[in-house]
């Protein structure tokens, strides 16, 4: 059984910029470094989340080839296993392509170019097969962003592959379906399935565009990334309003909704009446389900192809993923356009 995600491997040809963004703006601290024949790597941590920034050594290895085709982004989403041999047998039975891996680990093909390195629970939570040099722990500055967990990973898939991919992750990886939703926004539409490990620590939000509708943001990602890939990483925080203010002070660029978004927010989330001013000031979105409410905000992508970006999310018992915000934002923009049209008549 797969339990959690020990780290994420992010490949880039501009490590200085990526490390600067993660450390200066998202408060990740350098934890370890390594070099091998294919890459140089620096592991950075914020709370329980580790991102390994890898850059290619030479022009012909797997990291260089990934960058040429897909650009900067997540190349490996590892998982730890409580019984690695049994999990590998299940993957082989399900015809999952297995790839070469260092001793003591396994590696399975995932979605698009993304792979899953598989480690036994208790293994060092860093890419295996490298000689890591651990760096002195750095004190966390007051007011720095404090990440509590990796809430979920959003994955864009080509149209027509969602159901097959969700079934595969359920059967081969033991990540059963958690929820599903079809969202139509104007002329665009997308379908999504969430798969989650029994532990709750591995959650993939799988998204595909509806090819019968107009192209939208998912199609744009697939074009820029040259296929399926990780669209965003969602970081769980305790106090999103404070986190956004800290992030803005550090230089993080967040997407902000039009002001009219908040005019109808209380119709959907009545319990937030006392927080509307703070949410409007920070651009934080809100959604609710039968269990509670959530607050979320998205960064602009800091990468050249504008593919991978980040989300901050605060959960107040909510179990969903903010799907109402997609529709609400679209409708808010349309209302703003109508107002502008009325003013110019």
Residue 311, annotated ligand binder?
Answer: yes
Residue 168, annotated ligand binder?
Answer: no
Q: Is residue 116 packed enough to be buried (19+ CB in 10 Å), middle (13-18) or exposed (0-12)? A: buried
Known binding residues for Fe cation: 152, 232, 311
Known binding residues: 152, 232, 311
């Amino acid at each position: 059984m797969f339990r959690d995600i020990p780290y994420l491997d992010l490949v880039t040809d501009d490590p200085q910029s990526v490390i600067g963004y993660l450390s200066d703006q998202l408060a990740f601290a350098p934890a370890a470094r390594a070099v091998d024949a294919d890459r140089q790597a620096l592991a950075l941590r914020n709370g329980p989340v580790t991102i390994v920034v890898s850059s290619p050594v030479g022009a012909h290895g797997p990291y260089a080839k990934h960058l040429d085709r897909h650009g900067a982004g997540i190349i490996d989403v590892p998982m730890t296993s409580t019984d690695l041999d049994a999990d590998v047998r299940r993957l082989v039975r399900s015809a999952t392509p297995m790839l070469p891996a260092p001793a003591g680990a396994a590696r399975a093909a995932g979605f698009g170019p993304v792979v899953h390195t598989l480690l036994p629970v208790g293994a060092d939570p860093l890419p295996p097969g490298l000689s890591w040099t651990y760096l002195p722990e750095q004190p966390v500055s007051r007011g720095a962003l404090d990440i509590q967990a990796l809430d979920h990973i959003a994955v864009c898939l080509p149209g027509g592959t969602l159901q097959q991919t969700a079934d595969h992750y359920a059967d081969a990886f033991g990540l059963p379906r958690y929820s599903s939703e079809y969202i139509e926004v104007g002329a665009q539409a997308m379908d999504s399935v969430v798969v989650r490990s029994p532990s709750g620590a591995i959650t993939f939000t799988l998204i595909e565009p509806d090819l019968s509708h107009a192209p939208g943001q998912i199609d744009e990602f697939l074009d820029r990334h040259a296929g399926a890939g990780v669209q965003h990483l969602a970081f769980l925080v305790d106090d999103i309003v404070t986190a956004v203010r800290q992030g803005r002070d550090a230089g993080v660029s967040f997407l902000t909704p039009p002001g009219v978004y908040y005019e109808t927010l209380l119709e959907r989330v009545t319990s937030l009446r006392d927080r509307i001013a703070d949410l409007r000031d920070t651009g934080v979105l809100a959604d609710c389900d039968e269990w509670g409410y959530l607050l979320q905000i998205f960064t602009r992508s800091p990468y050249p192809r504008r593919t991978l970006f980040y989300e901050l999310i605060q959960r107040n018992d909510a179990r969903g993923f903010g799907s109402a915000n997609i529709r609400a934002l679209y409708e808010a923009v349309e209302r703003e356009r109508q107002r502008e049209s009325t003013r110019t008549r």
